[in-house]
Structure formats: structure tokens, C-alpha cells
């Protein structure tokens, strides 16, 4: 009757029982209509595709009183046959159930052929039946999965019947409880069979030890406590130990995750196992004594037995609270890490993918500071409720702290499907929220990492989802999937970071210069582009090592190097009579660095270069984080006479507000619009509107990525002021740039008759 310790959510027992059940039901139609991923708004009981969480509560999207349905969670991409192939009946549960059935069948056969009764009759039989019924009612009242083990009441009663009437009667009690509770909680009876099988094997182990002591009790010849002596105590203790050893060994093997160690609740349960053992030793012999001397009093044992269960479940509830966020009721980071381990274990077993996404609310801090922490907490409650409703079937959510949430997809068809889910969640969380009549819009950013594509363990998956999330937050893209080339903490990237740092110290990083020309052929300026040839890897793409610098804190050093080199080259050209302004790209981190404007002015003075000869190219991202500091820095640079250019216009969150707040004199249209200008009317209209808008604000317009005559003509007709691209010239080393400037200094640049080859991706 006492199968094993209560099943932890990340346990083999949950997974194997769920796999068994899903395999049996794979050919049946789904109980619930609706495509995967559609929210129904129902509250969850904590059952999932690959296990149940420790924390019972409404933090998944669908209600599921059944044991886990892996078939539904696998998504539409898997057929029923494929599901059965992956989720056939696991070998260990099948062996346990078969062994228990054999043992119980052998006992019944022996009883029938030998003319033995299965259970005592008269007063003692009815009293035991009443006590069993009370315990069954108590177990059913516990609700959900709690009755599946860990109850001292069931263990004490089973052991008492074993000592008094033998293993056949004890096995019958265990089987009866499984059937009765299975009928009452009909959605969970298959899982109960597995627990009952474990319990029957424990009973058999205790009976075998009794037989070794020469004790073979039966209904007709019970082991009467009147015959017990002082030497009986060790026998009773050893029988209890044998029963506990088998049930707990099998139970812990089924419960414990194969990776990541024991769950927190399971570790806490180790302590209460001592209480269960003490209850077995103390109460079971007393039940035997009362059953022999005064059986009518047996039902009174329900009071201490139920009290024992309540004490144990209070301890478990306190342990579960450690895994729950107290504000939202969602699981916390500790639960998430333990749950990820099991999800990865399951995904590896069925050769599937699992996905983790971290979601962060943008601008929540400002809302919290403006409206107060109490309002912020209420807002988080709304966000948590909305996240619950938006979760697809099988997904699990947790709150990591502050305004950061996590969603785990135990089974994901592909990276694309996981990204699609993330976009749906971001869209749901970005919808307007109502707080005391005040409508608030909080945008969200999500990062996605997929097993086994991006990481093979829980910590790695969490860290890489975090990297992707901050990338999405920084670029304002909403959702980003982890990319190793954008992660500066991989071993390869860390090595490249060290090499880049040394290359800067040794002046091995070079600057190439790409001209910008007006439509009259006059050179409008040059853009300094950084190039690095690694001694072993060869040419490293600028996007790659610049991303490393931005994410590692090396970006200010790289910007200082570029400014120093570019200003030195400008001073050299001016000494040669070549007066051409040079543009240098700076990152948002540079603009947010205290003293940046002063350091630029100091470099200009040191090289003797007028401020008008330097142009800094920035993006709108400088205003997305700490906009006041960025505005102060840009205003200081403008006050020094440094010109500003807005780069990559149209690819980010371009807006009139940004154009009004940024002290720029030039706007650069991104190459993505220019490339299809001649063949795409929509892009042409975007460029025309951009040119008109910029001119109305008094800004010059430069088009990037001009590669052919037709694009040149269209840009001229649209009123663009200057162009940059391979049609004019590729980025050139300083010596070639000097020769190019000298050749065109007097007569200007002449447009060739045929377009040059397409520009390189990093130009």
C-alpha cells in the first residue's frame, strides 16, 4: 500500500509513467481540441509533457488531470507512429509491474490451492477494512498526485498486516488501495499500478526475511503478538528495513533525475524518510497488538496515522515554497534549473529538441520608479497571469527575479518553432496593460537557446538564452536566437578577444577608408572602416570582432584606437594639402562613457585637427539606454564643433522623435533599402520619403551600398546629396586612399560607365 516516496516532478517515475501512458494512448485522438500553442485560459494543475513540477499551481496553460501526455507536447510535427516509436513502454516499469504481478499471482495461487483465506474475517477483518477505508479517503482527499507515496499511514498499515497475516494479505491491502484510489482519481490509476507494484515487491522482500526467521504467518495462523519476546524486536526491525529498502531503492531510482542531482524537494524528503521509518517501527507493532487483543479499536489508529501524514505533507509544502516565487506564484530560478535538467534528459532520450527562452520587460524600471514598487508588483502580477494564458501546451514558466521570466519548452520541433513561440509570448506581454485606469505599454525582449544546438546542460542553456535576450534588448529586435559569434564568452571567442586586445596594443589593427562623393563628383568625405588580419585565422570579419569588443568591455579601447589612428591620418593628409573630413563609427557604449566628449576634444587638439574635420557616426540605439547621458554627450561633442551623422537609418526604431533629439547634420540610408532601389517601388518610396524628411529638417542625405549606374541615377533623381559604395570605390588602405584623393582632388570623381562588382558583405 505504501508504494514509494512521493514522486518528484523531475523524476524518472513521472517520466516513465508518462511515457507508458502516452504510448498506450498515442493512437487515440486528443482529448482536447485545438492546435498546439493556442491559449484556452484554463488553469493548470502542474502536469507537463515530461513531468510534473514540484510546485502545484496555475503556471501552465492547460488543465491536465491525466498523467503527462507526451503525444500532445511533441507538437504537430510528430505522427502517432513516430510517437509510439519514441515512447514505448520503458523496460524498468514493465519489469517492476511484471515481477509484482508474478509475486501476487503466486501468492493467490498458493492461497487458493492450499485452501487459505486471503484476508481475516469477523471483527478484525471489518476493523481493518474500516481503517483501510479511512486511509483511502484521506489519500483521495489529499488531491492530485500527493497520495502516490510518502504516506506513513499506508506504510504502517501494510507492514502491520504483513507481520500479522503474511504477505498475501498485505499485498491484497496494497492492491485494494490502488484500485479504490484509482477509481476515485481515475485519471491517475496507471501511475498507481506502478507504485503498487513497487510496494508489493517491498512486501515480498519483508516476507522473505520473515521466512528466513522461520515466520510464515497466514490468516489461519497469524503471528500472534502474545508469542513475541525480547528477541522479536530485531526481527521486526529487519523486516521493516527490508520493506523500506526495496520500496525506497526502487522509488528513488525512478524519482531521481539522471542529470543535475536530486531535486530540492527530493533532498528535503530524505529527512522525512527517518520520520516514516520511525512511524513504521512504532505504530505497526501496536496495530498488530490491538488487532489481536481488541480489533474493534483499530479504526482509532486513523487519527495518529493521518496526523503523521499531515506533518509530513506540511514539511513537503514548506520545501515546495522554496521553489516558488512568493509574488507571482510562478516557480523560481532554483526550480527552473532542476526542471531544465529533466527536460534535457527527456529530449535526449526521445531524440528531440528542448528550448529555453528568457523574457525581460523593457523600461519596467522606469515604470517602477515612477509609480512606486507597489504598482510595480501589481504590474508583475498582470504580466505573470498573461504569461500563463499565453503559454502553449506543454510549456512551463518561471520568474527568475525582478522583471525577468523564463519559459521552457520540454519538446521543440525546431529552432524556428521555438522562435515563433517566443514571438507570440513577446507580443502577448507587449499588449497594453491597465493599472488603475492608466494604460501602460511595456515591450518585452526574449532570447532563445535550444538543446542540443546551443548547449548540452542546464547552466549552459540558461546562460546562452541570457546572452540572446540581452542581444534582443540591445538591438530592440524583440526576439533573438543565440549565436556563438555574438557571444564573447565561448572559448573560441575568448581566445579571439585576447588576440584582439594584443593586436590593438601592437597596432596590428588597420583602418581602411571608403569615399563619399556628391553627384557633382566632389569628395564629401571618407569613412574609416576597421580591418584586422589575424596571424593564424587570416582576415576576421569586422562584424565578428566588433561584436566581441562590444560585449566584452573592449569597445572603448577599440574606439580610442580608431580615433587616434584616424586623426593621425587626417593630420598627415592635411599636411599634404588634402583637406577631407573623416567619419568614425562610435557605439552606444562609447557615447555613454563619462568624459567621452572631452577625450575626443583632447585628441583633436593633440593632433592639430579642427573639429569640423571629424564626423562621428552614431545609431539611434544611443538613446535607448540612459537617453539623458547620451543627449548630454552628443550636445558636448556638437559644442566642440564635431559633426554627427545618423548611420543605418531605417533599420532600427527610426522615428521623428529621435531625429529631433539627435544633434545630427547628416543621415545615412542603409544599404538594405538602396540595394533594391531600382527594382522595388516600395524601397524607392521609402528612400524618397526619407530624403524629403531629412531635407525638411536641414540634414544632408548619404546613400550607402551604391553599386550600379541605375541606382546612382535613381538616387540623384530622388534628391540624395551623396553616395557611398563600390561604384565609387571600395574601402582602401591609407596609401591607396592618398593616391585616390590626389588623382581626383582637382577634377573630382568621374562616374565609370559600368558598375563595379557587388560590394563585400562587410564593406
Residue 232 in 3-state DSSP? helix
Are 708 and 691 contacting, i.e. CB atoms less than 8 angstroms apart? no
Q: Tell me the Cα Rg of the chain.
A: 36
pLDDT of 2 > 80? The answer is: no
- Between these two residues, 48 and 575, which has the higher pLDDT value? 575
Q: What DSSP string describes 487-549?
A: -TTSHHHHHHHHHHHHHHHTT-EEEEEEEEEETTS-EEEEEEEEEEEETTTEEEPHHHHHHHH
The average pLDDT across 209-223 equals 89
Query: What is the per-residue pLDDT for 691?
Result: 92
Tell me which of 123-132, 274-283, 676-685 is least confident: 274-283
For the whole model, what pTM was predicted?
Answer: 0.50
pLDDT in tens, 454-503: 888 888 888 888 888 888 887 778 888 988 766 666 667 778 888 999 99
pLDDT of 734 > 50? The answer is: yes
The whole-chain average pLDDT of the chain stands at 77
Tell me which of 288-297, 553-562, 583-592, 749-758 is least confident: 749-758
pLDDT of 304 > 80? The answer is: yes
Instruction: Express as a percent the part of the chain with pLDDT over 70.
Output: 74
Q: Give the count of beta carbons closer than 10 Å to the beta carbon of residue 317.
A: 13
Tell me which of 74-88, 276-290, 604-618, 699-713 is least confident: 74-88
Query: What is the per-residue pLDDT for 62?
Result: 35
The average pLDDT across 651-676 equals 75
Query: What is the per-residue pLDDT for 64?
Result: 37
Cell of 67: 498523467
Residue ranges per domain, the chain?
39-64+324-482, 83-321, 508-744
pLDDT of 58 > 60? The answer is: no
Query: What is the per-residue pLDDT for 54?
Result: 33
Query: What is the per-residue pLDDT for 92?
Result: 63
The average pLDDT across 677-700 equals 87
Query: What is the per-residue pLDDT for 73?
Result: 33
Give strand ranges (E) for 127-225.
Answer: none
Query: What is the per-residue pLDDT for 276?
Result: 62
DSSP 298: G
The average pLDDT across 40-55 equals 34
The average pLDDT across 623-647 equals 85
Nearest of 597, 557, 600 to residue 582 by alpha carbon: 600
pLDDT of 167 > 90? The answer is: no
Tell me which of 73-82, 162-171, 243-252, 405-414 is least confident: 73-82
Query: What is the per-residue pLDDT for 277?
Result: 60
| Residues in CB range of 262: below 8 A, 6 or more apart | 8, 256
Query: What is the per-residue pLDDT for 747?
Result: 55
Bridge partners of residue 433, in order along the sequence: 440
Cell of 663: 544633434
The average pLDDT across 255-260 equals 48
Query: What is the per-residue pLDDT for 637?
Result: 94
pLDDT of 758 > 50? The answer is: no
- Does 508-744 carry CATH code 3.40.50.620? no
Per-residue pLDDT band at 265 (split at 50, 70, 90): low
pLDDT in tens, 332-382: 888 888 888 888 888 888 888 899 999 988 777 777 766 777 888 888 888
Nearest of 266, 264, 272 to residue 252 by alpha carbon: 266
* 724: phi then psi, degrees, rounded to nearest 5: -145, 135
pLDDT in tens, 434-459: 877 777 777 888 999 999 888 888 88
- Between these two residues, 194 and 581, which has the higher pLDDT value? 581
Query: What is the per-residue pLDDT for 377?
Result: 84
Are 493 and 473 contacting, i.e. CB atoms less than 8 angstroms apart? no
Answer yes or no: same fold for 39-64+324-482 and 508-744: no
- Between these two residues, 205 and 21, which has the higher pLDDT value? 205
- Does 39-64+324-482 carry CATH code 3.30.70.270? yes
Query: What is the per-residue pLDDT for 537?
Result: 87
Query: What is the per-residue pLDDT for 254?
Result: 63
Bridge partners of residue 646, in order along the sequence: 618, 667
Instruction: Express as a percent the part of the chain with pLDDT over 90.
Output: 19
Per-residue pLDDT band at 36 (split at 50, 70, 90): very low
pLDDT of 93 > 80? The answer is: no
Amino acid at each position: 500500500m505504501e508504494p514509494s516516496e512521493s514522486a518528484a516532478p523531475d523524476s524518472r517515475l513521472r517520466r516513465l509513467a508518462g511515457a507508458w501512458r502516452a504510448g498506450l494512448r498515442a493512437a487515440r485522438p486528443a482529448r482536447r481540441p485545438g492546435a498546439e500553442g493556442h491559449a484556452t485560459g484554463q488553469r493548470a494543475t502542474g502536469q507537463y509533457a515530461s513531468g510534473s513540477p514540484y510546485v502545484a499551481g496555475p503556471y501552465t496553460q492547460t488543465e491536465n488531470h491525466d498523467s503527462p501526455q507526451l503525444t500532445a507536447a511533441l507538437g504537430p510535427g510528430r505522427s502517432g507512429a513516430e510517437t509510439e516509436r519514441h515512447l514505448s513502454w520503458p523496460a524498468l516499469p514493465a519489469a517492476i509491474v511484471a515481477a509484482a504481478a508474478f509475486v501476487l499471482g503466486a501468492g493467490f495461487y498458493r492461497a487458493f490451492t492450499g485452501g487459505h483465506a486471503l484476508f481475516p474475517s469477523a471483527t478484525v477483518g471489518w476493523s481493518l477494512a474500516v481503517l483501510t477505508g479511512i486511509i483511502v479517503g484521506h489519500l483521495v482527499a489529499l488531491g492530485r498526485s500527493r497520495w502516490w507515496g510518502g504516506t506513513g499511514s499506508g506504510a504502517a498499515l501494510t507492514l502491520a498486516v504483513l507481520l500479522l497475516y503474511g504477505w498475501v494479505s498485505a499485498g491484497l491491502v496494497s492492491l485494494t488501495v490502488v484500485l479504490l484510489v484509482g477509481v476515485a482519481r481515475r485519471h491517475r490509476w496507471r501511475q498507481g499500478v506502478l507504485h503498487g507494484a513497487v510496494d508489493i515487491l517491498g512486501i515480498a522482500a519483508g516476507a522473505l526475511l520473515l521466512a528466513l526467521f522461520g515466520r510464515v504467518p497466514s490468516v489461519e495462523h497469524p503471528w500472534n503478538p502474545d508469542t513475541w519476546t525480547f528477541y522479536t524486536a530485531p526481527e521486526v526491525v529487519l523486516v521493516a528495513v527490508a520493506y523500506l529498502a526495496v520500496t525506497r531503492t526502487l522509488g528513488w531510482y525512478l524519482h531521481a533525475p539522471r542529470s543535475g542531482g536530486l531535486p530540492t524537494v527530493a533532498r528535503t524528503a530524505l529527512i522525512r524518510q527517518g520520520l516514516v521509518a520511525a512511524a513504521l517501527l512504532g505504530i505497526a507493532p501496536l496495530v498488530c497488538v490491538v488487532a489481536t487483543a481488541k480489533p474493534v479499536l483499530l479504526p482509532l489508529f486513523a487519527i495518529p496515522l493521518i496526523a503523521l501524514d499531515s506533518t509530513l505533507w506540511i514539511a513537503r509544502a514548506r520545501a515546495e515554497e522554496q521553489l516558488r516565487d512568493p509574488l507571482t506564484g510562478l516557480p523560481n530560478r532554483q526550480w527552473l534549473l532542476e526542471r531544465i535538467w529533466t527536460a534535457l534528459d527527456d529530449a535526449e532520450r526521445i531524440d528531440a529538441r528542448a528550448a529555453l527562452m528568457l523574457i525581460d520587460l523593457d523600461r519596467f524600471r522606469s515604470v517602477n520608479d515612477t509609480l512606486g514598487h507597489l504598482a510595480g508588483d501589481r504590474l508583475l502580477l498582470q504580466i505573470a497571469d498573461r504569461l500563463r494564458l499565453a503559454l502553449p501546451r506543454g510549456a512551463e514558466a518561471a520568474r527568475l527575479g525582478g522583471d525577468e521570466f523564463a519559459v521552457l519548452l520540454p519538446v521543440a520541433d525546431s529552432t524556428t518553432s521555438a522562435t515563433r513561440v517566443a514571438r507570440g509570448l513577446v507580443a502577448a506581454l507587449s499588449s497594453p496593460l491597465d493599472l488603475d485606469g492608466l494604460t501602460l505599454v511595456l515591450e518585452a525582449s526574449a532570447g532563445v537557446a535550444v538543446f542540443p544546438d546551443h548547449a548540452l546542460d542546464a547552466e549552459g542553456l540558461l546562460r546562452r538564452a541570457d546572452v540572446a535576450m540581452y542581444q534582443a534588448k540591445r538591438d530592440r529586435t524583440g526576439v533573438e536566437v543565440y549565436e556563438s559569434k555574438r557571444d564573447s564568452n565561448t572559448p573560441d571567442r575568448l581566445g579571439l578577444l585576447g588576440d584582439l586586445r594584443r593586436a590593438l596594443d601592437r597596432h596590428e589593427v588597420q583602418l581602411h577608408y571608403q569615399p563619399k562623393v556628391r553627384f557633382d563628383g566632389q569628395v564629401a568625405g571618407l569613412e574609416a572602416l576597421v580591418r584586422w588580419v589575424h596571424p593564424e585565422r587570416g582576415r576576421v570579419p569586422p562584424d565578428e570582432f566588433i561584436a566581441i569588443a562590444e560585449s566584452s568591455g573592449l569597445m572603448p579601447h577599440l574606439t580610442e584606437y580608431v580615433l587616434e589612428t584616424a586623426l593621425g591620418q587626417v593630420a598627415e593628409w592635411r599636411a599634404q594639402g588634402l583637406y577631407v573630413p573623416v567619419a568614425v563609427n562610435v557605439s552606444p557604449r562609447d557615447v555613454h562613457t563619462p568624459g567621452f566628449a572631452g577625450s575626443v576634444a583632447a585628441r583633436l587638439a593633440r593632433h592639430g585637427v579642427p573639429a569640423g574635420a571629424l564626423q562621428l557616426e552614431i545609431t539611434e540605439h544611443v538613446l535607448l539606454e540612459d537617453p539623458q547621458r547620451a543627449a548630454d554627450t552628443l550636445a558636448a561633442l556638437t559644442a566642440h564643433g564635431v559633426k554627427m551623422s545618423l548611420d543605418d537609418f531605417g533599420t532600427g526604431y527610426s522615428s521623428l522623435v529621435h531625429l529631433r533629439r539627435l544633434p545630427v547634420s547628416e543621415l545615412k540610408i542603409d544599404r538594405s533599402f538602396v540595394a533594391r532601389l531600382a527594382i522595388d517601388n516600395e524601397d524607392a518610396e521609402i528612400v524618397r520619403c526619407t530624403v524629403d524628411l531629412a531635407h525638411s529638417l536641414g540634414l544632408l542625405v548619404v546613400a550607402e551600398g551604391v553599386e550600379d549606374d541605375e541606382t546612382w541615377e535613381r538616387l540623384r533623381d530622388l534628391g540624395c546629396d551623396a553616395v557611398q559604395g563600390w561604384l565609387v570605390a571600395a574601402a582602401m588602405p591609407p596609401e591607396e586612399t592618398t593616391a585616390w584623393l590626389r588623382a581626383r582632388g582637382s577634377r573630382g570623381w568621374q562616374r565609370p560607365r559600368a558598375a563595379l562588382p557587388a560590394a563585400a558583405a562587410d564593406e
